[in-house]
Amino acid sequence: MCAAFELCGNASSVHAEGRAARALLDAARAEMAAFAGTVPKNVVFTSGGTEALNLVLTPYIETSGEKSNPFGLLLAGAGEHPAVLAGHRFAPTQLELIGLTPSGVLDLEALDRSVALASAAGHRVMLAVQAANNETGVLQPVAAAAERIHAAGGFLVCDAVQAAGKIPCDIGSLGADAIVFSAHKFGGPKGAGALCFCPGSYHIKNVLLRGGGQEGGLRAGTENIAGIAGMAAAVVAAKVRLGELTTALSFWRDEMEAEIAHALPGAVFFGAGAQRLPNTSCFALPSIEAQLLLMALDVEGFAVSSGSACSSGKVKRSHVLSAMGAEPELAWGAIRVSLGWNSHREDCVSFVQALVRIVKSIRARRDKPAA
């Protein structure tokens, strides 16, 4: 990124400085394409996952150069990120949520019913589904959902923001038509992201940013060269460390949960019965509010969250846990603990020790007889 900041040229210019910026942009696009399992021309750089989802969630996507009827229905898992649940260019009446199982997995039987009804009504269907849930870490059955959607002539958008850098996110293996990334989730800078289409030809009739025609006409505006360079560098690093990191984080997370369950009986770990990202643990302790835990852990030097960090400064009941059928009291008390590429086993040990001290202190104060 530091080297990119030294490039003063605009990547759309033909002079030497512009060509240098273009070369860096092209190299970054090739790295993102290799990471996503597609071709460079099908990578659209954005400001992050939210913008990418705003761009792609539209009824007006044409594929393979063929003009077709607009998509009439957007299906989305009930536990999707708020950036998906907003529906974007689909009208509120065109958005239908698909429920989750108690383990936090997209209900494929419910999906089958919705697709069948939509097809009978003559609607083309788009499905938006996460590769992994951003609160529980539960992996979603993207490939199985893609089979169902494609059999009905539909289109699948995979939100891989939370999963990238932690598990493989190849668009072909997932069966997705489009996949979304955000750089800061795998070690890159905030404010950079990408929308990648699988190999083929795509056209969005109602793009969000109109202007100079950058990014294949899908996202106008001078490219954020430094941010894009940082994202590409992070992609390279993520691919190198993927296997080793996955093994270590999964072991530490499981060990941490076992220690919490032993020291604090009654702890509930959401999604523990399903396949999860290796770094994520979402749990609650009966009668302990999330807000108390967040503040106390912050004092101890641990930054954890309640639900999605994107709901800035808010501690509220998780719509994901509600969709899983969690008891309201537990849902209010849920916190998410995430490990990363710079985490160590000692961090997990210290966290458990701090958590146990905090919970015992809260319970002692709560149970102390009134004077």
For 44-91, the pLDDT digits (tens) are: 999 999 999 999 999 999 887 666 789 999 999 999 999 999 888 999
- pLDDT-derived band of residue 213, with 50, 70 and 90 as boundaries? confident
- Selecting among 8, 198, 282, 310, the annotated active-site residue is 310
Q: Residue 74's beta-bridge partner residues?
A: 95, 126
Residue 2 is a catalytic residue: no
The pLDDT, as a whole number, for residue 338 is 95
Give yes or no for a contact between 36 and 179, defined as CB atoms under 8 angstroms apart: yes
Whole-number average pLDDT of the chain = 92
Model confidence over 309-357: pLDDT tens digits? Answer: 555 455 567 899 999 999 998 888 999 999 998 899 999 999 999 999 9
Look at residue 314 in the predicted model and tell me its pLDDT. Answer: 53
pLDDT in tens, 260-276: 999 999 999 999 999 99
**Alpha-carbon span 352 to 354, nearest angstrom:** 5
Per-residue pLDDT, 312:
44
Integer Cα distance of 150 and 349 in angstroms: 46
CATH topology for 242-366 is Aspartate Aminotransferase, domain 1 (3.90.1150)
Ranking 123-137, 161-175, 216-230, 357-371 by mean pLDDT, the lowest is 357-371
For residue 139, the model assigns a pLDDT of: 98
CA angle 161, 197, 94 (to 5 degrees): 75
Q: Give the residue extent of every domain in the chain.
A: 2-236, 242-366
Q: Give the pLDDT of residue 46.
A: 97
CB 252 within 8 A of CB 338: no
- Local structure of residue 140 (DSSP, 8 states): P
What are the tens digits of pLDDT across the range 117-161? 999 999 999 999 999 999 999 999 999 999 999 999 999 999 999
- Quote the pLDDT of residue 316: 65
Q: What is the pLDDT at residue 370?
A: 63
Cα 22 to chain center, whole Å? 29
Confidence of residue 16 (pLDDT cuts 50, 70, 90): confident
Q: What is the CATH number of domain 2-236?
A: 3.40.640.10
Q: Give the integer Cα–Cα distance in Å for 280 and 181.
A: 18
Which pLDDT tens digit goes with each residue over 176-203? 999 999 999 999 999 999 999 999 988 8
What gap in Å lies between CA 1 and CA 16, rounded to an integer? 19
